[in-house]
Amino acid sequence: MSAQAHASGEDSPTNGTGSALSGESWNDITPDAARRLVVAAVEAFAERGYHATTTRDIAGRAGMSPAALYIHYKTKEELLYQISKVGHLRSLALLSEARDAAAPAADRLATAVRRFVRWHAEYHTTGRVVQYELGALAADHYAEIVALRRRSEDAIRSIIEEGVAAGDFDVPDVSGTTLAVLSLCIDVARWFNPRGRRTPDEVGELYADLVLRMVGAPRQPARP
């Protein structure tokens, strides 16, 4: 397979948003206790699911009493909403950035997949909550999140459409393939295990290659 050497600089074709640096993106939540609660909630939701997680458990992990949770968040659902929103915005930013880069469609698609997958692997707990606990959101919050997801889908679809138009891709069913690509990437959050054989970087590389095959792009161009 392709050498995964790629020194750090590797991507960040555009960094207009300045989002590229952030690791887990809870850093800008204040006060400190509110941030600890979000982190605790992500862990708990990812481990046991939203409904199986108790507010006592979340508060406990954050090192405070059950009642303290309600100083910072009105309900347990609001915590989920916060997590879901931040996660979806991050996904969308990632994919939009890749779509808008000045590069051939194949490169942009590979970059999008590589980063999207890497994020889902690296922050697979967050990813799990973001991708699999939507159903627990209140109706209005759910609608808002679904709109963000649609925009993410559009970003991928755009790249594939442009690749087809440029004659770089061979894709009989663009919207079906878009769905499959996104689905493939998202599911990484479900199975990824940080103690497994593969690093997030390796999975990203593997998946970028697989997706290029799916769209019938000529074999991976040598990367600088």
Which residues of this chain interact with DNA, rule CB under 7 A?
Answer: 31-33, 53-56, 59, 63-68, 70-72, 74-77
Residues 207 and 211: their CA atoms lie apart, in Å, by 6
Residue whose CB is less far from DNA, 44 or 217: 44
Which tokens belong to 167? 């004659």
CA distance from start to end of the chain:
16
Indicate whether 198 belongs to the interface with a copy of itself (CB under 8 A): yes
Contact flag: residue 174 with a copy of itself (CB under 8 A): no
* Type of residue found at 148: L
151 sits near a copy of itself (criterion: CB under 8 A): no
- Burial class of residue 53, CB neighbours in 10 A (0-12, 13-18, 19+): buried
Among residues 207, 78, 192, 89, the alpha carbon closest in space to that of 136 is found at: 78
Closest separation in Å from C-beta 192 to a copy of itself: 10
Cβ proximity to a copy of itself: between 122 and 209 the closer is 209
d(CA 93, CA 142): 19
Q: Does 207 bind a copy of itself (CB under 8 A)?
A: yes
Minimum separation from the CB atom of position 20 to DNA (A): 30
How does DSSP classify residue 68?
G
Kindly tell me which of 36 and 120 has the beta carbon lying closer to DNA.
36
Q: How far apart are CA 44 and CA 51, in angstroms?
A: 10
Indicate the DSSP class of residue 222.
P
C-alpha span between 26 and 54 (Å, rounded): 21
Binding of a copy of itself by 6 (CB under 8 A):
no
| Residue 113 touches a copy of itself, criterion: CB under 8 A | no
Residue 223 interacts with which of a copy of itself, DNA, none, CB < 5 to 8 Å by class? none
Token pair for 221: 């161009």
User: Choosing among DNA, a copy of itself, none, which partner's interface includes residue 68 (Cβ < 5 to 8 Å by kind)?
Assistant: DNA
Please report, as ranges, the residues that interact with a copy of itself according to CB under 8 A. 1, 48-52, 132, 135-136, 172-173, 176-177, 179-180, 183-184, 186-188, 190-191, 198, 203, 206-207, 209-210, 213-214, 216
